[in-house]
Amino acid sequence: MLSFFNTIAAVLTCSPDLVVENDYGNTTAVVSFIGASAFDNSGDTLSVTCDPPSNSTFPEGETAVTCSATDGSGNVGTCNFTITVQDSIPPVVSCPADIVVEYDYGNTSAMVEFSGESVTDNSGAILSVTCDPPSNSTFWDGEHVVTCSATDGAGNTGTCNFTITVQDTTRPVLTCPANMTVEYDDGNTTAVVEFGGESATDNSGETILVTCSPPSNSTFSSGNNVVTCSGSDTSGNTGSCNFTIDVHDTQKPDVTCPTDITVEYDYGNSTAVVEFSGESATDNSGEILTVTCDLPSNSTFSDGVNVVTCSATDASSNTGTCNFTITVQDTQEPLVQCPSDITVEYDYGNTTAVVEFSGESVTDNSGEILSVTCDPPSNSTFADGETVVTCTATDTSGNVGTCNFTITVQDTTNPVVTCPADITVEYDYGNTTAVVEFSGESVTDNSGEILSVTCDPPSNSTFGDGENVVTCSATDAAGNVGTCNFTITVQGIITSTQ
């Protein structure tokens, strides 16, 4: 019996070669492909596998892909194709917007600084941009194309262009004389006017000729006359300026104001009604003019400096003015009334006194209700002797009124001296006198001081026959003296009565 073996491999047809760009921001690419199809003599449908498989990441350059299929007899068919990963996309270069500049002053060229050129690339690389000519180059009169370029790592070069146009469109800057106001020439309603000072400067640095119409020393008619001065540079730019020559009566009346006035508040107000007079006016026309003041006499003027403007206008509508000030102020101090002077005794046991007082008051020309403060205040402790109390009040204008009174703390109370009881003694043996010892005298004082008592005659003195008055006394620190008396009676034998 004969056996037949299939030795014919499947026939594979691969995808055509692929060329792809780098994935954005990378030098590789993830590539999806169909791969290959397989035909086998067995008629079986075969599975095709490729190495590397579809959706793999392929490096930059050429990579061979091999696809294969195996039939049921173990015959393997293969095919190959290439995937080329490349960067053929040039960088995208962005240029600044077109630039139009004026000449540098005094030149027909300009040094131009520009910026803002930028570049992005599909590789994600950070590239530098160079421009030709570069920023800060000198560009001459006219239009100049600047080309900016950048090259990526694959050698792709991107470019952009912009133009720098250097031109002179700046007109000369003309300076005219100031506007002029002149009086009529004597006996005319016109005036011959001489003027000068017109000038021109130009960005080109040229010297520009200035002409004026009408020229200096022309005869100008009554009213406003417009003079136009002009000058042109070599680029054809013309600059001009105008000024006016006003021919008429421009002399203002001479107005005289009253002298500045300073007044106090009206009582009970922070304003004042002020009457004034003496404003007057004279004019070159000889007219008799009326003077009016914007705050008339007998107006109410507010606190502070009030500027009064007085004016007079002649027939040519020339107005003369003067100013003076009316200052309404409060320089009057509040009127502070103090209590009467106070004299008090020491607080018991002290050489000071807590003193309560009242009755201080204040009135002010402003009519304000003010408060009074006293130093030291009521219910303070006052030392021995005279203390000056100052009471003050301040109005809203900062005027301070004061008054003073004195609080005198003193000690006029005599010490209280207590004497021993009266004593009766017999003669000393063989005498008609007696040496008598006594004690018990004492003293208290409102100051709380500890005082000593002296008696006259003192204890242990010799007392004569009969009644002897002994006076005991004590003096405090304020010099107040307290006394008491008792008697010592010296006599013969004392008999007792039943």
Q: What is the pLDDT of residue 1?
A: 43
Together in a domain, 284 and 302: yes
Using alpha carbons, list the distances in angstroms from residue 185 to 182, 189, 213, 219, 474: 9, 7, 21, 10, 112
Residue 436 lies in a domain: yes
Q: Which among 311, 329, 347 is the end of a domain?
A: 329
Residue 32 in domain: yes
Among 134, 150, 167, the domain boundary falls at: 167
What is the spatial distance between Cα 15 and Cα 218, in angstroms, rounded to a whole number? 99
User: Could you tell me which of 344, 402, 345 has the C-alpha nearest to residue 370?
Assistant: 402
Q: Tell me, yes or no, whether 6 lies in a domain.
A: no
C-alpha span between 380 and 384 (Å, rounded)? 13
In terms of Cα–Cα distance, which of 492, 493, 494, 488 is closest to 432?
A: 492
Q: Are 251 and 283 in contact (CB under 8 A)?
A: yes
- Are 344 and 406 found together in one domain? yes
**What integer pLDDT is reported at residue 3 of this predicted model?**
45
Tell me what pLDDT residue 203 has.
86
21/81 same-domain check: yes
Q: What share of the chain is helix, strand, coil (3-state, %, to 5)?
A: 0, 50, 50
Segment holding 256, helix H or strand E: strand 254-256
Same-domain check for residues 131 and 188? no
CATH of the domain at 294: 2.60.40
Do residue 108 and residue 131 come from a single domain? Answer: yes
pLDDT at 188: 67
8 A C-beta contact, residue 184 and residue 190:
yes
**Is the bond preceding 215 in cis, omega lying within 30 degrees of 0?**
no
Give me the helices (H) in 127-270, please: none
Each residue of 152-166: pLDDT tens digit?
A: 988 999 999 999 999
Residue 1 lies in a domain: no
Whether residue 240 is found in the same domain as residue 258: no
pLDDT at res. 498? 44
> CB within 8 A of 237, min separation 6: which ones?
168, 169, 170, 171, 172, 202
Examine residue 439 and state whether it is found in any structural domain, yes or no: yes
From CA 380, how far away is CA 496, in angstroms rounded? 63
Q: 93 CB contacts (<8 Å, ≥6 apart)?
A: 117, 118, 119, 129, 148, 149, 150, 158, 159, 160
Q: Which residue has the tokens 């594979």?
A: 12
CA separation for the pair 484, 442 (Å, rounded) = 10
The DSSP symbol for 89 reads: P
Q: Please check whether residue 424 lies inside any domain of the structure.
A: yes
Neighbours of 247 (CB within 10 A): 25
Q: For position 287, what pLDDT does the model report?
A: 76
pLDDT of residue 351: 87
Question: Mind giving me the DSSP string for 360-379?
Answer: -EEE-TT------EEESPTT
Q: 310 and 326 in contact (C-beta within 8 Å)?
A: no
| The dihedral formed by the CA atoms of 328, 332, 334 and 339, expressed in degrees to the nearest 10 | -170
Residue 144 within any structural domain of the chain? yes
Of the residues 167, 195, 218, which one is the last residue of a structural domain? 167
**How many residues make up the chain in this entry?**
498
| AA identity, residue 18 | L
pLDDT at 491: 95
Q: How far apart are CA 194 and CA 220, in angstroms?
A: 10
CB atoms within 10 A of CB 258: 17
Same domain for 259 and 227? no
Nearest alpha carbon to residue 265 among 366, 401, 363 = 366
Interatomic CA distance for residues 102 and 86, integer angstroms: 47
**Per-residue pLDDT, 186:** 66
Report pLDDT for 283.
79
Task: List the domain range (segments joined by +) for residue 136.
Answer: 92-167
Domain count, the chain: 6
Asked if residue 76 and residue 98 are part of one domain, the reply reads no
Any domain includes 3: no
Rounded CA-CA distance 293/277 in Å is 10
Q: Are residues 136 and 162 in the same domain?
A: yes
Q: List the chain residues with pLDDT less than 70.
A: 1-5, 186-189, 284-286, 494-498
